[in-house]
Every structure is written in C-alpha cells, then in structure tokens.
Structure 1
Amino acid sequence: MLTQRPRGTADIYGSAIAAWRALEEVVHATFRAYHYEEIRTPVFEHTELFERGVGETTDIVEKEMYTFLDRGERSLTLRPEGTAGVVRAYVENKLYAAPGAAKLYYIGPMFRYEKPQKGRERQFHQFGCEVLGSDDPAVDAEVIALNVDVLNRFGLAGLTVELNSVGCPVCRPEHRARMVAVLKPAAHRLCPDCQRRLDRNPLRIFDCKRGCREVLAELHAPSILDALCPDCRQHLAAVEALLTALAVPYVRNPHLVRGLDYYTRTAWEVTAPELGTVGGGGRYNGLVAEVGGPDTPGIGFAVGMERALLLRELQHGPWPAEPRLDLFVAVADPSATAAAMQMLQAVRQAGFTADRDYQGRGLKAQLKQADRLGARLVAILGGDELARGAATVKDMASGEQRDVPMDGVVDLLRRLADGAQI
C-alpha cells in the first residue's frame, strides 16, 4: 500500500519549482536592497516561547500548534510563525549589542494544524523581516513599504495596505473596559473562544472567524482608535504621513488586529481583490522583553509564499516553463561515452545547460527524448564521429545539421546565444 503525504502538505516539483525559485530570488534581492541580513532559525522551539511570545489567547496557541514531547520529556513545537524564533535568536545571541537597529529577514516553512485551503496548507512557507531596536515611525513606514515593494517586484498588482493601531499598555486598558461594558450583557451570543477572550483579551474578538465580528458590529463595539493615547495617535499619524509621502496606498481598518497577541501600535495587512490577505505585520514593542531580553522595540511582517504564488497565477496565468535545454548529447555507440561526458562537462562549465540519456536507449529514442526536453541542439556521437573528430550537430527547430569539431560545440553555443544561425 502506497504511503501518501500527510494531509495539509504538498510536493513541490516540475514547473512549480521555477515559480518558487523566482519568488525566492526576488525576496533575497529586495531585502538586500533595504540592507537586511538573512537569519535562519530552527523549525522547532521550546513550546513556552510561542506561549509567551505569540499569546495564549490566540488561535495559534490554543488550537493550531504541532506540539510534542521529545525523548527527554521536553515540550517542543514546530514553529507556527517566524517572529518569536527570530526574537529569541536576537536575545540569545546578544545581537542587541551591535550598534544600530538589527534588520533581519527569513524564508522557511511554518506549521499550523488548521483546515487546509487553497494557498494555505498545514505546512506552509513564509518570508518576512524583523527590525529590532527602533521605535521611529519612519521604520514602520519603511517596513510597510518594503512589504508592498517585494510583492510588486514579484509582479503582483492592485495591492492595498489595510492599516490600524492596536494601541499600547497605556491605552489598551481603557479600550478593554469599554469592550467589556458593551459585550458582557451579550456574552452568551459569542462563541466559546470569544467568551474566554472577553475576560482575557477582548481585542482578540475582532479576529474571530466564527461570526462574533457580526455581533461586534451590531453592538457597535468601540474601536481601539477611539481609545488611543496621545503618543499612539501621534505615532499613527506620522506613519500615515510617511506612507503618503512614499506613495504607498493604504486605508484605515479600525477593526484590524491581526492574529497575534504581541502587536502594539501599528498593525497592517496587504490585500488584493482576487485573494484577500497576502501578508501583513505589525509593531511589537514588548516582545523582546517578554522572551527574556532587554526592553527593545520591534516591528516586522510575514508573507505567505503559497498565497503570493497563487495571486501571481491569478493575475498573470501559469508561470512560464523552465528555459529549454541548450544541448542534448546523443550517444550512438558505447565507444563514444567518454567523449560524450567530456562534451557535457565542457558545455556545462561554459554556463550552458546540457544532458544525455542514461538508460541505454537507441538513437531514435534519444532524439525523441531531446525533443521532449526542448533541446535546442543535439550532438550525435558515435564511432564515425569519433573517427572524424567532429560531432553531428542538429538544430531541432529547423532540422538542419552539420559537423562541428568536438572542441567547437561550446563556441557554437556562444554564437547562437549572440543571435547567429547554426
């Protein structure tokens, strides 16, 4: 019986790899342009990191984490998001000792036990960034602009930033009191999760996906924007002014809270009409201290790579196929095997793509294989070719063929690359 892949995972192969590689190249190039350094953290961490960092009232911690005991009876969790691990690495490796803010980015798989959907499996992939060490609203604006820029560079269009402030420890208690006063009489109408959140973190109810947001709208639940302290209001205004200066399109969404407890002040999502949310992030000025580091402000975002790839396909169609093969070497006689391998190596080292058959097929079958692979040229090598010191080279598009010296195939490929004819 065939063992199949676990539900919520995917095999990535064939033409899909070209799209993934292209996105990864855009990510690396864009973050380099903004002077970010890559960081790679473990795919599993101690469970307490996510309980403390992500927040006990989030769906992630309450329902979605892949948690297990190792042989030492230690509780470990496959990372459900990237920020907590980066912050832990920042603290553990004392990256805060370096001058200036730390600007870090990452790419990798994340894991959440949730219902698989198009563009979001249980193992999914994210790229994202974190800036640790600055509370300047200019950093918020730059990170949001970067979030949009990297997606634009990948060819995504029609993106909008939905922006909000979720306040700070100074102004949240007032908003919490207002929320409790409005919702307590109607608590029975909330889902069980939100009934618990009403006592622990009522702001989380705005993120409910089970109908509680409709109850909030009906009861005219207070917006966090109405309770912001002067510092948070000033910070939000400065961010908005800078986004306008950078021509980053945004709209205020007073009900946006994101799905993580660590956010303070700025929070945003990047959305597209065809798909909804593609990515987003926020400021988390208390997270570094929460995981045991010095009191350090931070901000970052994450983008679901599967969702970015899906949106790219919705907007532009399937990703183009990989570039065709430059040269296929067809071995007509076993005596030509060594010469064929030498030719392949020379062509590859010159920067061209080359391949051959390794299953002992006849010449006719090898030519069919070359055609299936989209080879531009086929070099036929057999006893006669060895005797002449020249390969029979065939242009697969025109059918034209001629003899080319064994050491002249690379030069021919270079001339063809410059627009010459065979």
Structure 2
Amino acid sequence: MAFQIPRGTQDILPGEVERWQYIEEKARELCKSFQYKEIRTPVFEHTELFLRGVGETTDIVQKEMYTFEDRKGRSITLRPEGTASTVRSFVEKKMYAAPQQPVKLYYIGPMFRYERPQAGRFRQFVQFGVEALGSNDPAIDAEVISLAMNLYKVTGLKKLKLVINSLGDSESRKSHKEALVSHFQPRIEEFCSDCQNRLQQNPLRILDCKKDRDHELMGNAPAILDYLNEHSRAYFDKVLYYLDSLGIAYTVDPNLVRGLDYYNHTAFEIMSDADGFGAITTLAGGGRYNGLVEDIGGPETPGIGFALSIERFLSALDAEGVKLPIDEGIDFYVAALGEEAKDRSVSLVAELRNAGISAEKDYENKKMKAQLKAADRLSARFVGILGEEELAKGAIMVKNMDTGEQEEIGLDSISAYMLEKR
C-alpha cells in the first residue's frame, strides 16, 4: 500500500525548509530586541478552553476545530490558534504576579483547522504570534503592530498595507450591537443561515461573512466608529498617534472585524498588495482582547497580540519575487583517495565539525572526479584533497573554490586555518 500525505498538509523538504528557518530566525531576533520571550504550549488542549477563549459563535469553533475524545472520554482539541493556549498558561502559571509587567510572549508552532485547502492555507499550518499581557497603554498596541510590520520589512517585503479599526469597549459595542440588529433584522432572511444565527448572538460577525459580503446592507451597515464613547475614541486616537510617530502608514477601515470573539478596542490586519498574491490578501491579524484573561479564569488583565501564518508569509515573498539571503553552501569538503585517506577523513571531518566548521565527505566510495563534483553540488567554499602522498606528509591539499588557489596545510592545523578563512 502506498501512503499519501493527508489533504491540507505538506512535507517541507530540504531546499525549502531553509526559507522557513530564515523567517523563524528573524522572528526570534526581532522578539529579542523587543523583549518578547518564547513560550511553548501543548499542541492539544481541553476543548472548553477554545469554546470559551475563541468564542462559540466563531467559524473556528463551529466548523473548523479538530476535536476528539481521549480514552477517558474527555473532549480534546488540536489548537486552532495560539492566543487561548498562551493566556491559559499565563493564568495557570500565575504570570500576572511577575514583577515585570507587561508579560511579553511569543510562540512559533503548528495550528490545526479543518477548512478547505487553498493557496497559502492548510489544515496544519505554522503560526508565529506575540502576546503582551498586563498593559492598557495604547503605546503597547503600536509596539505590537510595529513588531509585525518590522518582521515583514526586514525580510524584504515592500507591498504591505496596514488596516486598522477600533471595536470599542463593552459600552460602545453594546450600542453598536443594537444598531446592527436594527439594521439587519428586517431583511435577515436574505442572508445565509450563519448570519441569521449571528444576528442575536454576535451581529458584528455578520460584517465578516464571506458569503454575503456583497449584499447591499453590508455597504451601509452602522460603523463601530460612529458608536465609540469618549474613552474608546480617545484610546483609538492615541494608537493612531503612536503609529504616526513611528512612521507606520495605515488605513482606517470601520468595517474591519476579526474572526475571533475576544477582540475589543484595537483590531488590525496586515495585507499584501502584491500583484498575483491571490484573493485572500491578509498576512497577519490581531488586536486587543481585554477580558479574555478573566474569561479563562484569571484576574482582570488587559492584553493585545497578533498572529501570522508562515505559509502566507512565504507566498507573499514569492509574489514580490524576494529571494532570501540563505547560505546553502558548506565550508569544507574532504575528497579522499585511497583506503587510508578514507579512514583518516572520518576523524578529520569530525575535527572540523567540532570546531564549528560545516564539513562533509564521501560515503559512496566515489572516484576523485565524482567527489569533486559532489563538492561543487554542495557549494563547498574549500575542498581538501587527501591522498597517500599528503598523509605521508601529515598534510592536506586545500583548494579555494572561489579563487582556484591551492596550498598545502598540516592536518593538525587545518581547523585553525579554516577558522581564519571564515
């Protein structure tokens, strides 16, 4: 029986995985400069966490979660996103009592959603995200957005669009909800069944519907910005002020809502404006979620974060034709001729590797010409030719593959020689 990979998943092979590693490395470097610390949470959690943390009216919970019962009948779900798990850990490990606040965390790992696979979207995908918990300062909103924008920019992306909105506090949202119900109620039967169910539960989610987005009532629906109270308006204005001070361009979109129930105040998405990127242009999304920590059993604690898909990140790089500066070569290749030289090459390669030099040798008993071709395929910067004559001298002939220059180096000093050449 020939086995095939499950639909909506992918194998990331050598030659491609290096691009993933590059992005992950840049994300870690950036988080270090912003003082965000890594957190690693389980791939699965109790289902109730996502029902409460993500929201029972969301498409993720209603349609996309991988949920199963374990051997003791407990409902378990593969994590569909990273925020709920991070907040659960924040509460469970009492990070809210840490002397340094806000607590700034980031994660990189696989998430799982049962949705229709399409370009840049998979049922298992890798998400990078950050969460800042413990501050109500609009400056932290701007910092989170800045971190996301910086990550895209340092990798070479230029055609980016930041869209931002305010969802207001609970008082503002209550007024807006009443206006939305009054707006959609008379013609709700013209909308899909999902929107009909959302009318009373969470009418804001109607604005995020993909099926009915062209309905005429969508275009003139009440905008949340018109229902912001004084506090919410001042908060949003301050976030925009900080973005201006950081030189980050943005577009305010009063119809922007996020697909998760826990957002309030700041909500944002970063999109690709690259030609040919596809119909779904969103690269990253996030916002403020004051109230989520309390919903998961912790004390009143404000929070804000974002998440992005590495897969869509790579698609955006491809759309803009950005080539990542990945060094795919090795430092040294040992080409051995004769049985004694082959035996000595084993310890020689180990010595080089222990010194921090990337090295390789032949394991197929190839002729010298074939070994040199192998070194070329590996983009070796230097090739060491080791034969009986060199062994007798306790030396190795080293060729610089860029210049073609050759020189004889003692075997006991080859590691030091290569360290000087790096």
TM-score tier, shorter chain, comes to over 0.9
Q: Which residue does the alignment assign to 2:377?
A: 372
Q: Give the 3 Å change call, closer, same or farther, for CA 85–325 of structure 1 in structure 2.
A: same
Question: How many angstroms does 1:383 deviate by?
Answer: 2.8
Question: Is 1:363 paired with 2:364?
Answer: no
**Structure 1 residues 222 and 213: alpha-carbon distance in aligned structure 2, compared to 1, 3 A threshold:** farther
Aligned to 2:300: 295
Structure 1: tracts of 5 or more residues without a match: 418-422
1:9-46 CA-to-partner distances (Å, cap 9, x unmatched) read 11112222221111111111111111111111111110
Aligned residue number for residue 310 of structure 1: 315
Q: 2:262 is matched with which residue?
A: 262
2:137 is matched with 136
317 and 151 in structure 1: CA distance in 2 versus 1, 3 angstrom threshold: closer
Q: Deviations over 1:322-362 (max 9, x none)?
A: 33222111222222234212221222233321101112323
Q: How far apart, CA to CA, are the structure 1 residues paired with 2:90 and 2:407?
A: 62
**Equivalent of 1:280, from 275, 281, 285?**
285
- Alignment of structure 1 residues 229-240 onto 2, 5 Å: 229-240=229-240
Query: Structure 1 CA distance, aligned partners of 2:90 and 2:54?
Result: 16
Measured after TM superposition, the shift of residue 184 of structure 1 is 1.2
Q: Tell me the CA shift for residue 395 of structure 1.
A: 4.1
Match of 1:20 in 2: 20
Preserved contact between residue 18 and residue 322 of structure 1 (Cα < 8 Å): no
Cα distance per residue 1:271-312 (max 9 Å; x no partner): 120242110201111101111111111111111111112212
- 1:420 maps to which residue? none
Q: Structure 2 CA distance, aligned partners of 1:368 and 1:30?
A: 39
**What residue number does 1:113 align with?**
114
Q: Which residue pairs with 2:336 in the alignment?
A: 331
8 Å CA contact retained: 1:164, 1:253: yes
> 1:376 deviation in Å?
2.6
Task: Indicate conservation of the 8 Å contact 1:147/1:280, yes or no.
Answer: no
* Partner SS, residue 26 of structure 2: helix
The farther-off stretch of 47-56 and 269-278 is 269-278
Structure 2 residues without counterparts, runs of 5 or longer: none
Matched, 1:214 2:219: no
Using the TM superposition, name which of 393-402 and 84-93 deviates more: 393-402
Q: Which moves more between the two structures, 128-137 or 383-392?
A: 383-392
Give the conservation status (yes or no) of the 8 Å contact 1:205–1:213. no
Write the distance in 2 (CA, Å) between the matches of 1:60 and 1:376: 49
| Coordinate RMSD, CA, aligned | 1.8
For normalisation by structure 1, the TM-score amounts to: 0.93
Identity %, equivalent residues: 50
Against the structure 1 CA distance between its residues 413 and 204, is the aligned structure 2 distance closer, same or farther, given a 3 Å change threshold?
same
Mean Cα displacement is larger for which, 134-143 or 39-48?
134-143
Q: Per the alignment, in what secondary structure is the counterpart of residue 238 of structure 1?
A: helix
Match of 1:86 in 2: 86
TM-score of the pair, normalised by structure 2: 0.93
- 8 Å Cα contact 1:190-1:215 kept in structure 2: no
Q: 2:113 is matched by which residue type in structure 1?
A: R
**Would the aligned equivalents of 1:207 and 1:213 in 2 still touch at CA under 8 Å?**
no
Instruction: Write the distance in 2 (CA, Å) between the matches of 1:377 and 1:210.
Output: 59
Is the counterpart of residue 146 in structure 1 residue 147 in structure 2? Answer: yes
Which deviates further from its counterpart, 280-289 or 369-378?
369-378
Q: Where does residue 392 of structure 1 map in the other structure?
A: 397
Could you tell me how far 1:3 is from its partner in structure 2? 0.8
Q: Is contact 1:131–1:299 with CA below 8 Å preserved after alignment?
A: yes
